[in-house]
Every structure is written in structure tokens, then in C-alpha cells.
Amino acid sequence: WWLDPELTYGNAKPFVFTQGHSVCNRSFFPCFDTPAVKCTYSATVKAPAGIQVLMSATQSSYLEEEGVYQFYMEYPVPAYLVALVAGDLIHADIGPRSRVWAEPCLLPTAISKLSGIVERWLTAAESLYGPYIWGRYDIVFLPPSFPIVAMENPCLTFIISSILESDEFLIIDVIHEVAHSWFGNAVTNATWEEMWLSEGLATYAQRRITTETYGAAFTCLETAFRLDALHRQMKLLGEDNPVSKLQVKLEPGVNPSNLMNLFTYEKGYCFVYYLSQLCGDPRHFDSFLRAYIEKYKFTSVVAQDLLDSFLNFFPELKEQCVESKAGLEFERWLNATGPPLAEPDLSQGSSLTRPVETLFKLWTTEPLDSVAAASSADLTKWRTFQTVLFLDRLLDGSPLPHEVIKKLSECYSSQLDSMNAEIRIRWLQIVVRNDYYPDLYKVRRFLENQMSRMYTIPLYEDLCTGTLKSFALEIFYQTQNQLHPNLRKTIQQILSQGLNPLPAIDTTAVTTDTPAMVLEDKVSEATNGAISLRDVNVSA
């Protein structure tokens, strides 16, 4: 993805990055673009003076007089994990084997958020799953045009800069990518039809790491938030939708990235959690996963490899035929549509989730007692995941009675203004879905200052689903030039839904006073109906 300087934070130099997951690197270099094939690689990159080049490699060097970078990845990796980024990037060390790279204007924030704690996460992961095998664990923050939240490129995690303001989301996203160093990068799913082997295991490992470093209550809160999103997605897609299987059948011509959904992550996590519960003690399961990594590192596996290894590691479970337990058969876990067959016990998070449930009930019980509701909780003292869980449940219940949305705005709108973007976007979606005009100016202000998919697409989808499409068009006219062309095209497709075909505007003949927009033909894949991007906004 090539970015003009104005699409970066510093507006100083051009920027380029690659995103190989799932099957995009075939347009970067000739390769066997399948996770079943792994190899080492080397690269020579020539760049103009003042442009820093980084790759997902274990070794690098720079010949300044020639402007040439040399990279070498000494361990075999699948093609999708070869990654390159180049731009106005500087770095700072944040630990003995970690540094952050960012544009100069962002580096101080990145340092303040991550200094010292990445090593803590790596150490916790090593205590659970064995040595970190990639040498360095560096992080590069990318401009808001980066199309996903984060990507686990070995030695060099890519993360969207927009997430820096949301501390708890940043923590979870980085720890998830740390977990991929074992699950996904060292041991990889051999086929994209079993992506859960990377994502489900990485999500499980992520939550083991957060439990070790932040406690069980925080982990249960984050899990409750994600499982809420899973059930929301399931309700929208339908329980018999084939994409809800863990083993999805890829039809010819289908991009595997289309299968990136919460089932891959959360249903996969629930199956892995269920396996851990069969052991009786998660530490016994940790021991199994260490042995699994040691046996299969630098190779690609299928689900049967994992499950056979599990039963061989625990022969007493094999004797009990746990794989055939009625209603919880391994085969059913893999191939049944619908929700997980079992979900984790989240009672250890009740100290954090119960206040959310209480507040939601107060605001949605008739008749409304707004005084009692307003006085029952101080959102400024809540964790981010508590607030987004509360707002997501209000979103699920929208449209709300006018009296309720009016009182909600009076109580919380000004408080939420000062909170992070993950919170603000949810409140603004509530505003839009309830046609609450007094707060619409905040929607405009938010979209005028956002350039990332995850903070624009959900609002445009909601605006165009309801009665506010003209308002959405007006904002888009004013902001389109600050958006990456790919994002601009996606929003154009959203705006064109339900419209008669419009003639393309000759942008070369448009004056600066005339809004220029080309509405593309409808593309059915452009949006997923009522499924907002935030519901599938997951790290790779």
C-alpha cells in the first residue's frame, strides 16, 4: 500500500507497507502463497535517503553510501509472514529485546504506553509455552490506512497507530500478537480452512498471558466483551451459516480473508478452553502446548495433528474416549454450525461485569428511573472494557425510547467526549441508530478527524442504514481527500447501496468548490448487511 505524505501523521514523507495475510503476497513476490509451505528468505531493498526500511527478518544491515538494506529471515516462515514497511520511522528501545518504531510525532506516545511492559508479556509467555525463538520482538506503528488492527509478522509486529489512545485494547492487541509467536508463526495452520488453529490457540494463549499479568477478572471481562460480539455476529448471520464452522470449506475463487470472523477467534478459543478443562488444570494443558510447539515448530499442521497430540499426551483422556463425549464430540466442535458447544466460566470476572449488567438493566427497565440509573455508576472510574460492554448492549437494544436516549445523553455524552475512540465510536453509533439529532455534530467532528477503517466504516454503515444518508454524503464530500483510496472506495460502495446508478463525476473538471465523488457500482461484498466492522474488527 503506497501512501502519499498527507496520508501519514507527519505529512512529511511517503510511506509504504505490505499486508500479506491471507493470500496477498503473491502480488509482492513470486511464491507458493499457502500456509502449508515454509521457507527462509533474504531481501535486498534500495530506498531514498531519509526513508527507513524494515522487514520481518531476524537479521538486517544497511549500506548508507548505497542506500541499500539487506534482510535475512533464518527460520522457515509461510509467505504471508514476509512483510515490509518503509517511511519516516525512528525507534526507541523499550526492553532488552524490543523496540518501537513510529513516525517522530508518535514515538513519545508509543514509548510511554509500552516501555518495560512488552518484556513482561514475553517473559510470561515464555514461562507458559517455552522460549521465544525469533530473537527480537519489535513493534512498528503504521498510519491509519493500515487495513486491520495488528499483524503478527515475526520479529516485527505491525499495529495501527489509531489504537494507541485506547490502552486496554492496545494491551490485548499486542499480547495477542505476542501469542502468535508460538501459535501461528512457529506452528501454522496448513490450510486457511482451519485458521482457528492459529487464531483460536493464540486467543487462548493471549488470555493465559493476561491472566498471569493482569489477573483473572480482567481476562474474564475482555472475554465477556468478545463473546458478546460473537453472539451478536451469530444472530446477524444465522446459526446455520457455514462460516460459523471451525473447519470451513473454501470454495474455488473465495478469498480466505473473507473467513476472518469472530468464529475463527472465539469459537476456536472456546474449543481450546474446553480441551484445557478436560485436563483438570490449565497448567497441565500449558505443558501439553509446550510439547506441541516443540514437536511442530517451523512446520504447518492440520486439526488432527493437534487433537492426536492432545490425546497421546493425556492417555487417560484417550482411554475415557473424551473425543466422543455425547454432544461435545471433537468432530462436532469442528464441523457443526452455530455457537460454541460450551463456553468458559467467567464468574471470576463478576466484580467487573456485574456493575455493567446492573447499569444496563436500570437504563432499559420500564418505567425509567433516570436518577437511580445515573447515580448507580461513575463511568469515568470504569475500565474501558466495562464501558464498551455497556455501550454495546445499548447498541444491541437500539433504537431505544426517546426518553432513554435523551437521558443517556444528558448523563454521559460530555463524559464520553474525553474518552478513547473505542468508547466514543460506540456512543456515536447509539446516537446514529436512535436518530438523536442533538449529538449529530459529534458524529461529524469524529469522522472529520478519523482516517482508519475501524473508526469510519461502522458509522457510515449505520448512517446509511437509517435516515441520515444525506448527512453521511455531506461529511464524505468534505473528508474524502484525507482517506486512503481503498477506504474511499469502500465508503463509496456503502453510500451507493440502494441508490440508482449515478454517473461518474469527472474529477478533473471539478473546481475546488465542488465536492468530487465517484459512486462505484454496488459490490455485494462491500458491506455485510447490518454487521458493523467493529464486530469483526480483530487482529490478524
- Annotated catalytic residues are 177, 265
| Annotated binding residue 119 | no
Task: Tell me the CB-side half-sphere exposure of residue 516, using CA atoms within 13 A.
Answer: 10
Residues 6+ apart with CB under 8 A from 17: 1, 83, 84, 85, 86, 87, 142, 146, 158
| Annotated binding residue 199 | yes
The position carrying cell 488453529 is 197
Round to whole Å and give the CA distance between 459 and 456: 6
For 8-25, the DSSP string reads SSSSSS-EEE---TTTTG
In three-state secondary structure terms, 211 is helix
Buried b (16+ CB within 10 A) or exposed e, 68-94: ebebebebbbbbbbbbbbbbbbebeeb
Please name which of 527, 222, 219, 236 lies closest in space to residue 396, comparing C-alpha atoms. 236
Please name which of 372, 346, 342, 345 lies closest in space to residue 359, comparing C-alpha atoms. 372
| DSSP tag of 504 | P
The position carrying cell 456512543 is 427
Written as one letter, the residue type at 431 is V
Round to whole Å and give the CA distance between 231 and 238: 10
Strand order in the sheet with 15-17: 2-3, 15-17, 84-87, 52-55
| Annotated binding residue 180 | yes
Length of the chain: 540
Query: 391: how many CB neighbours lie within 10 A of its CB?
Result: 25
- Bridge partners for 70 per DSSP: 44, 61
Q: Which three cell numbers stand for residue 39?
A: 521457507
Binding-site members for Zn(2+) are: 176, 180, 199
